[in-house]
Structure 1
């Protein structure tokens, strides 16, 4: 099983990013954690992830409600990234509340899954086993 190239936490709340990283760290999925406070920062960081591959992807945990560029806007802009970046990126949406309209729209985008906040290791393990076919796991 391969380790992830990195995990990108995209949330405008620094304390949420900190708590998410704390929940993820014991799983030993990666040595590299990145944070972005909105979708624009996240897109810029994805463009820089040259070491990521489909076999060793970047996992993006995406909040939906953010200033500047929210989650839906990020998902739309993600489609415009080069195919190599899209193939090496696994998107998981994290949200507390989402409208049914937004939930139905998620099917239009290449996301691997959704999770409600707060993030826990158990929830992430379930997403990994269901959606990533074991291609990312701890060392």
Structure 2
């Protein structure tokens, strides 16, 4: 499996970020792992990368419940900015609330996974959505 250029973890929980970082490092599927503590910080980071001429993350792993700007608010703002539209967004949550799933679907969020992130979940995402990149790099 080829590596993704970069992944952005957006989560306010330090432990979750640490565990997800370890998982992604162990799977060895990303060259650069970025983190943000909430949606506003993630939008700022994306804008800074654009301003610096850097590539945007290929994958954004986005928590729903965060203080400040939550995952749904981030996604709504993200969609208003076509210059950001190159990343695949996967919403991550511990919530079992069906309203959260319905809201994700109504916003057009392509993936919604329950935490914890596992090797199988991340491998499935990468294999199903980045196959073309993998086959082009072989």
Q: TM-score range by the shorter chain?
A: 0.7 to 0.9
2:99 corresponding residue in structure 1: 101
Q: Output the CA distance in 2 between the equivalents of 1:113 and 1:136.
A: 19
Q: Output the CA distance in 2 between the equivalents of 1:19 and 1:65.
A: 18
Alpha carbons 2:9, 2:36 under 8 Å: kept: yes
C-alpha displacement at 1:64, in angstroms?
0.5
Q: Is 1:32 the equivalent of 2:32? A: yes
Structure 1 spans left out of the alignment, 5+ residues: none
C-alpha displacement at 1:136, in angstroms?
5.2
Query: Taking CA–CA contacts closer than 8 Å with sequence separation of 6 or more, which of the two structures ends up with the larger relative contact order?
Result: 1
C-alpha displacement at 1:110, in angstroms?
4.3
Alpha carbons 2:64, 2:72 under 8 Å: kept: yes
2:84 corresponding residue in structure 1: 85
Alpha carbons 1:90, 1:111 under 8 Å: kept: no
Q: Output the CA distance in 2 between the equivalents of 1:128 and 1:136.
A: 10
The structure with the largest alpha-carbon Rg is: 2
Alignment: residue pair count: 133
C-alpha displacement at 1:84, in angstroms?
3.1
2:131 corresponding residue in structure 1: 134
Alpha carbons 2:62, 2:71 under 8 Å: kept: yes
Alpha carbons 1:128, 1:136 under 8 Å: kept: no
Q: Which structure's residues are more often helix, by fraction?
A: 2
2:4 corresponding residue in structure 1: 4
